[in-house]
C-alpha cells in the first residue's frame, strides 16, 4: 500500500476533501448488516457519531462503552464530475481494528490493523457529479492472531467484552482523519530519502516510485524557501551545501518536491517536509548527526477525556507544550503508531521519537501489569504454532505499514518492534529474528531497532537481546516489585541487575523506557506511602540515583506523561495513574522534579557525559 502511506497533500495536480465531521453510526451485535444490505440501503437505525473520535466515551451507558463486535459508519459523499479522469480514493488514517469499505453497496477494500492508513479506490463504484453512499463495516475484536493481542470474555447473558493482553483501554472507531483524494492516474506513489554527512554538506539519496514512465524531477528547498539542490531521475543524490541540520530541540526543515513531467506538461507533483540528519548507535552511545544524545521524555498514550484515542490537535499541542516545559526531547509511541500529525509536530519541535509497532500483548495475560514482573515459567506464547505463523504474519504486515508511512520523518530516530514480549523461551528467537530482519530490509535509513525488555525477562533470561541495537528497559522496582517500605531493597535489585547487564551487553547503550508509580493527584502522606505524591517523588529520586551510576544509560522515559484509561479492575482507579500529569493535563509534584532534572541535562552529551 505505498500510496496510502503518503501523507495527503493539495498541489497543482492533487485535491483532497476532508470527510471528518458527523457520520451515521450503528452497532451490529448480530453481525447481520452485510446480509441485510446496510452497505447499500443505509443503516436502519443510526445515530450521529463524530469523526475522528473513539465511539466508546461518547455514550452514557456501559453496554455501548464496552461494545465488542461489528459496528458501522456511513455517510453520503458528493464526487465532482471533473474528477472523472483521476484516481479517486477514500483514505482512512486508521480504522480500529479492522474495516471493510463499501461505496454504493460495492465492496472496495478491507484492512486489518487499527493504527496505520489504508485507501479504497472509488472509481469503479462511483456516480460522478452525484451523491454516493459510503459505508464502513468495522470490528474491534482482539485475538492472539491480531496486533495488538487479546481475547474475549463472555458474560452470563452472552454479551462479549474485550479481554486485552495490555493495560490500556480498547478504544475503537474511526479515530483519525478520513479524506477523499483525487490524484492523476500517473502519479508519484512513494519517495524514500536517506541523509549522510560530508563535512558541512548533506548528501540526500532519493528513490521515487511512480505509476508511469515519464520524467521525474526532485528538488529540495531550504527553510527559507530557496532551492538548495535538484536532480532529474527516479533515483539519485542531492548535495546540499552548508546544510542546516535537524537537531534535538533545534530542528531545521526542508521541503522536498517531486514532480512528474511530460515535456512542459506537469503530470503530477507531491511534497513533504523533511529534516536532514543522521542517527546511529556507536559503542555505548546513540548519535544524532554524529553527536551523543541523552534522551529525556516519556512513554505516552493517545488518550484524553471524551475523545478517547480520537486525534485532537488541541490535546496534541498541549502535550507538546508540557514536554517542552519539562525540558524533554523525546517520547515513545507506546504502544502503537500515533497519528501522522503528531509526527509532523515532532519534526517541527525537534523531538527524538521511538516509533513503536502495535506488538503489545505477546505475553499471555489479561493482568499483564502483574504477570510482567512474575518469574518466567518455561513455556511462553511463542511456543504456540499459531503465534509463529498467523500472529507473525500480522506482525510483519504491521511493520511493513509502519515503515512505509514513517520512513521519511526526521523525528523517527528508532523503531520499537515489541513492547514487553515474553522472550524467556528460545522459541521467541526465530520469531523476533524475522521481525528485526524485515525492519532492517525495509528501512532505507537503517535506523536503530529495539524492543522494551520486561521485568520477567531480566538480565540473563531474555533470549533476544542480541537483536537489539540498543536496549530499552521497563522497570518498576519499587512499585510492582518491593514497593513501600522495601524501596531500598528495590534500589539494590535494580543496581545488581544493571551490573549484570554490564557483563552481558558491554557494548550497547541502555535506556529506561518505563518506570513509575500509580499516584493519585492530591493524596499526600508524611512519611510517604504508596499512591501518594510523596512516594512518587521518593521513587523517582531512587531511580535517577541508579541511572546516574552508569554512564552507558543514555536516556530516561518515565511511564507515563499523563494518566490514561484502562480496563476496569481493582488495581486501577478509573485508569492508570502513573502520569506526571493528570488525564486533564495538570501537573503532579513529580512533574516539577523532572523539570528541575531535565533542564539541567543537555540534549547533546559531549563532554558533559563525563561530568554526570
Task: Work out the pLDDT band at 611, boundaries 50, 70, 90.
Answer: very low
Span 24-42, mean pLDDT?
97
Q: What percent of the chain has pLDDT over 70?
A: 96
Cβ atoms within 10 Å, residue 191: 23
**Band of pLDDT at residue 367, cut at 50, 70 and 90:** low
Residue 372: its pLDDT value, please?
57
Confidence at residue 527, expressed as pLDDT on a 0 to 100 scale? 95
- Identify the pLDDT of residue 1: 53
Phi, psi (deg, nearest 5) at residue 24? -75, 150
Query: Mean of the pLDDT values across residues 348-358?
Result: 98
Q: Which phi and psi (to 5°) does residue 97 adopt? A: -110, -15
List CB contacts of 364: < 8 A, sequence separation 6 or more. 144, 165, 380, 381, 422
Put the strands of the sheet holding 98-103 in their side by side order: 47-51, 21-28, 70-79, 130-139, 98-103, 106-112
Averaged pLDDT for residues 166-170: 95
pLDDT, tens digit, for every residue of 286-329? 999 999 999 999 999 999 999 999 999 999 999 999 999 999 99
Residue 371 has pLDDT above 70, yes or no: no
What's the pLDDT score for residue 376?
58
Grid coordinates given for 312: 485532537
Pairing label, strands 553-556, 178-183: unpaired
CB atoms within 10 A of CB 213: 10
Question: Annotated catalytic, 502?
Answer: no
389 in Cβ contact with 395 (< 8 Å): no
Beta bridge partners of 27: 71
The candidate with the shortest Cα–Cα distance to 207, out of 530, 555, 444, is 444
**CA–CA gap between residue 314 and residue 331 (Å, rounded):** 18
- Claim: this prediction has a pTM higher than 0.85: yes
Domains of the chain: 2-183 (2.60.120.260), 188-274 (2.60.40.10), 288-611 (3.20.20.80)
Grid look-up 528497559 returns: 473
197 burial type by CB count under 10 A (0-12 exposed, 13-18 middle, 19+ buried): middle
Identify whether the C-beta of residue 122 lies closer than 8 Å to the C-beta of residue 88: yes
Rounded-to-integer distance, Cα 307 and Cα 585, Å = 14
CA-to-CA distance for 235 and 233, rounded, in angstroms?
A: 5
In the predicted structure, residue 529 carries a pLDDT above the cut 90: yes
Instruction: Give the pLDDT of residue 608.
Output: 47
Count of all residues that appear for the chain in the document:
612
Q: Give the pLDDT mean for 146-158.
A: 95
Label residue 12 exposed, middle or buried (CB < 10 Å: 0-12, 13-18, 19+): exposed
State how far the Cα of 309 lies from the Cα of 172, in Å rounded to an integer. 8
With residue 400 as reference, give the H or E element that holds it.
helix 392-406
CA–CA distance, 331 with 337 (Å, rounded to integer): 12
193 and 408 Cβ atoms separated by less than 8 Å: yes
Task: Kindly name the residue from 420, 505, 533, 538 that is annotated as catalytic.
Answer: 420
Q: How far apart are CA 181 and CA 117, in angstroms?
A: 13
pLDDT at residue 609 tops 80: no
Instruction: Quickly list DSSP for 95-110.
Output: -BSEEEEEETTEEEEE
The yes-or-no answer on residue 209 being catalytic is: no
pLDDT at 612: 42
Residue pair 111/92 in contact (Cβ under 8 Å)? The answer is: yes
Position 606 scores a pLDDT of 72
* Sign of the Cα pseudo-torsion (413, 381, 558, 510, in order): negative
CB 167 within 8 A of CB 179: no
pLDDT digits (tens, 9 = 90+) for 433-470: 999 999 999 999 999 999 999 999 999 999 999 999 99
* 610, pLDDT greater than 90: no
pLDDT in the model for residue 187 = 97
The mean pLDDT value for 157-184 works out to 96
Residue of 189, 345, 356, 514 with catalytic role: 514
- Return the pLDDT at 43: 98
Q: Give me the mean pLDDT over the 350-372 stretch.
A: 83
Task: Using the structure block, give the residue that is written with the C-alpha cell 517541527.
Answer: 348
What is the DSSP code (8-state) at residue 611?
G
255-290: pLDDT as tens digits: 999 999 999 999 999 999 999 999 999 999 999 999
Strand 510-514 with 553-556, pairing? parallel
CA dist 363 and 240 (Å) reads 47
pLDDT at res. 4 = 84
Q: Is 54 helix (H, G, I), strand (E, B) or coil?
A: coil
pLDDT class of 36 with cuts at 50, 70, 90: very high
Cβ atoms of 512 and 494 closer than 8 Å: no
Q: What is the mean pLDDT of the chain?
A: 95
Dihedrals φ, ψ of 580, to 5°? -75, -20
- Residue 578: pLDDT above 90? yes
Cβ atoms within 10 Å, residue 35: 8
For 371-390, what is the mean pLDDT? 81
**Alpha carbons 505 and 10: distance in angstroms, whole number:** 49
Amino acid at each position: 500500500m505505498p500510496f496510502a502511506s503518503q501523507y495527503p497533500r493539495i498541489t497543482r495536480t492533487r485535491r483532497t476533501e476532508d470527510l471528518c465531521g458527523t457520520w451515521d453510526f450503528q452497532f451490529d451485535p448480530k453481525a447481520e448488516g452485510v446480509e441485510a444490505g446496510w452497505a447499500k440501503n443505509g443503516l436502519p437505525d443510526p445515530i450521529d457519531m463524530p469523526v475522528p473520535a473513539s465511539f466508546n466515551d461518547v455514550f452514557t451507558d456501559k453496554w455501548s462503552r464496552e461494545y465488542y463486535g461489528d459496528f458501522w459508519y456511513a455517510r453520503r459523499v458528493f464526487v465532482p464530475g471533473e474528477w472523472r479522469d483521476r484516481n479517486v480514493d477514500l483514505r482512512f488514517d486508521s480504522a480500529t481494528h479492522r474495516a471493510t469499505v463499501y461505496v454504493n453497496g460495492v465492496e472496495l477494500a478491507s484492512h486489518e490493523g487499527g493504527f496505520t492508513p489504508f485507501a479504497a479506490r472509488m472509481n469503479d463504484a462511483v456516480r460522478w457529479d452525484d451523491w454516493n453512499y459510503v459505508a464502513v463495516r468495522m470490528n474491534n475484536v482482539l485475538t492472539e492472531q491480531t496486533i495488538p493481542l487479546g481475547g474475549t470474555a463472555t458474560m452470563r447473558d452472552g454479551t462479549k467484552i474485550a479481554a486485552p493482553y495490555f493495560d490500556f483501554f480498547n478504544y475503537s472507531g474511526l479515530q483519525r482523519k478520513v479524506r477523499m483524494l483525487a490524484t492523476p492516474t500517473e502519479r508519484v506513489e512513494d519517495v524514500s530519502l536517506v541523509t549522510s554527512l560530508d563535512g558541512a554538506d548533506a548528501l540526500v539519496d532519493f528513490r521515487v516510485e511512480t505509476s508511469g514512465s515519464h520524467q521525474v524531477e526532485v528538488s529540495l528547498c531550504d527553510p527559507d524557501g530557496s532551492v538548495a539542490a535538484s536532480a532529474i531521475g527516479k533515483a539519485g543524490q542531492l548535495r546540499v551545501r552548508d546544510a542546516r541540520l535537524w537537531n534535538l530541540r533545534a530542528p531545521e526543515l526542508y521541503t522536498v518536491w517531486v514532480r512528474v513531467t511530460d515535456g512542459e506538461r506537469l503530470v503530477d507533483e507531491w511534497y513533504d517536509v523533511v529534516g536532514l540528519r543522521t542517527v546511529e548507535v556507536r559503542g555505548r552511545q546513540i548519535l544524532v548527526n554524529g553527536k551523543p544524545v541523552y534522551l529525556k521524555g516519556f512513554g505516552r498514550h493517545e488518550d484524553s477525556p471524551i475523545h478517547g484515542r480520537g486525534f485532537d490537535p488541541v490535546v496534541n499541542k498541549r502535550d507538546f507544550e508540557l514536554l517542552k516545559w519539562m525540558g524533554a526531547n523525546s517520547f515513545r509511541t507506546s504502544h502503537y503508531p500515533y497519528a501522522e500529525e503528531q509526527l509532523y509536530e515532532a519534526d517541527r519541535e525537534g523531538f527524538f521519537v521511538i516509533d513503536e509497532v502495535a506488538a503489545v500483548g505477546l505475553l499471555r495475560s489479561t493482568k499483564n501489569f502483574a504477570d510482567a514482573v512474575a518469574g518466567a515459567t518455561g513455556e511462553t506464547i511463542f511456543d504456540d504454532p499459531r503465534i509463529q505463523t498467523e500472529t507473525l504474519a500480522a506482525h510483519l504486515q504491521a511493520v511493513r505499514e509502519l515503515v512505509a508511512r514513517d520512513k521519511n520523518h526526521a523525528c523517527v530516530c528508532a523503531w520499537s518492534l515489541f513492547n514487553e514480549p515474553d522472550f524467556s523461551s528460545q522459541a521467541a528467537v526465530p520469531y523476533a529474528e524475522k521481525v528485526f530482519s524485515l525492519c532492517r530490509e525495509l528501512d532505507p535509513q537503517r535506523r536503530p531497532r529495539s524492543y522494551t525488555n520486561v521485568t520477567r525477562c531480566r538480565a540473563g533470561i531474555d533470549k533476544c537481546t542480541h537483536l537489539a541495537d540498543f536496549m530499552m528497559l521497563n522497570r518498576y522496582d519499587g512499585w510492582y516489585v518491593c514497593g513501600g517500605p522495601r524501596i531500598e531493597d528495590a534500589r539494590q535489585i535494580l543496581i545488581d541487575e544493571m551490573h549484570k547487564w554490564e557483563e552481558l551487553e558491554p557494548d550497547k547503550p541502555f535506556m529506561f523506557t518505563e518506570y513509575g508509580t500509580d499516584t493519585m493527584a492530591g493524596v499526600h502522606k508524611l512519611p510517604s506511602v504508596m499512591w501518594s505524591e510523596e512516594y512518587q517523588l521518593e521513587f523517582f529520586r531512587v531511580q535517577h540515583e541508579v541511572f546516574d551510576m552508569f554512564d552507558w544509560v543514555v536516556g530516561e522515559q518515565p511511564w507515563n506523561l499523563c494518566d490514561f484509561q484502562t480496563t476496569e479492575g481493582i488495581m486501577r482507579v478509573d485508569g492508570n495513574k502513573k502520569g506526571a500529569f493528570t488525564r486533564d493535563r495538570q501537573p503532579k509534584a513529580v512533574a516539577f522534579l523532572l523539570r528541575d532534572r531535565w533542564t539541567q541535562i543537555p540534549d547533546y552529551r559531549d563532554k558533559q557525559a563525563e561530568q554526570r
